[in-house]
Structure 1
């Protein structure tokens, strides 16, 4: 299928590792131009050198409101078609382990910048007749994950925001969706597995087997497969799909609506 992404400009957060990198690579393969966003300039430059000139690196700390404002100004200098809102998740932790300072930092890294950047991009998208907003969150929106209370709580808030947003911008040709990944083979899942292994006093391999046993496929997800779904949602062919939180989890979520 031709996703009609050739030469379209899409910004991708967390573009140097994990699912963000996989999405950026898939978009490039579809002929899109990617503005890759991450904290580390060196890692961004390494990706740019490897994938070519259609990848434009932009270093920013998305927890810094001034940096987000500067990023929005930069992106609004392009005929931007889409944006992938993605950054590293909040730290692992149980309710009684966390302080209010941890919640404040998690709010900044998981919620606040997405609202700020979205608001800054909407006028340009409206003027150009539409676009695609895609938020990479977590399956914890639908089924909380042990030892991840910050993610469980704040990503659910993002889901409420995105659903409301989709209702307000749909007539302008702008879609807003969430992809909710389950357990994928990325550095993030390693952190989660290590926390669980520490609590249970078990080897890492045994804990990974526990996690994959919860899924229908009995394995970790492949980032490239996830990226293919993201590319479709970012494309013109997905114009009638909005306001959805789509689990990409190998059948982890047991609820009938998935």
Structure 2
């Protein structure tokens, strides 16, 4: 199927690692231009070297309000067709382990910058025939994950924001959706596995096996599987899907609405 992405331009946050990188590479394979956003300039330049004609590196710290403001101006100038709003999540931790400063940082790293950047991009994307906003969050929106209270709380707030946004802008043709990954083989899941292994005082390999057994397919997900779903939601083919939190989790969530 031709997804109709050739010559379209998408910004992808967290483009040098994990799920963000998988999405960027899949978009490139579909013929799109990608503005890759990450903190590390070196990895961005490496990707630009691999795709000199269609990958544009942009180094930014998305927890910095000034950096986000400048990024918004830049993306408008680039006339993007959509964006994948993705960055590293808040640290692991249990309620009694955390201080209020941890909650303040989690708000900045998980919710605040997304609201700021979305608001900046709305005038541009509402004017597109097929504007797309895609937020990468977590399966914790539907089923909280142990030892991740900051993520469980803040990502649920993102879901409320995105659902409301989709209702307000839907008539323009702009869609806003969330993809909620379960346990995928990425650097992010490694931190969760390490925390669980530390609490249980068992080897990391044992915890990875435990996590895999919680899914229906009995394995961790591949980033490429996740990216395929993301790229479809960015395409013109997905125009009747909006305001949704779609889990890509190998059957991890037990609720019948998954």
Q: Name the TM-score class by shorter chain.
A: over 0.9
Match of 1:82 in 2: 82
- Would you say the 8 A contact 2:14–2:21 is kept in 1? yes
- Structure 1 segment 98-247 matched on structure 2, within 5 A: 98-247=98-247
Give the number of aligned pairs: 258
The secondary structure found in structure 2 opposite 1:67 is helix
Contact 2:221 2:250 survives alignment (8 Å): yes
For residues 109-129 of structure 1, the C-alpha deviation after alignment (integer angstroms, 9 at most, x for no partner) is 000000000000000112334
TM-score by length of 1: 0.99
Matches of 1:250 and 1:43 in 2, distance apart?
Answer: 30
Gapped regions of structure 2 (runs ≥ 5)? none
- The aligned counterpart of 1:20 is 20
1:176 and 1:242 in contact (8 A); partners too: yes
Matches of 1:147 and 1:102, distance apart in 2:
14
- List gaps (5 residues or longer) in structure 1: none
C-alpha contact (below 8 Å) 1:82/1:132 kept by paired residues: yes
| 1:78 to partner: Cα distance | 1.7
Alignment-derived partner of residue 68 in structure 1: 68
Is 2:13 the counterpart of 1:33?
A: no
User: Per-residue deviation at 1:9?
Assistant: 0.4
Q: Distance in 1 between matches of 2:189 and 2:126?
A: 37
- Other-structure match for 1:96: 96
1:217-243, Cα deviation, whole Å (9 max, x unpaired)? 000000011101000000000000000
Q: Distance in 2 between matches of 1:15 and 1:130?
A: 22
> How much is the aligned-residue C-alpha RMSD, in angstroms?
0.7
Using the TM superposition, give the Cα deviation of residue 51 of structure 1 relative to its aligned residue in structure 2, in angstroms: 2.8
Query: What CA distance in whole angstroms lies between the structure 2 residues aligned with 1:135 and 1:86?
Result: 6
Task: Work out the CA distance in 2 between the residues paired with 1:127 and 1:159.
Answer: 24
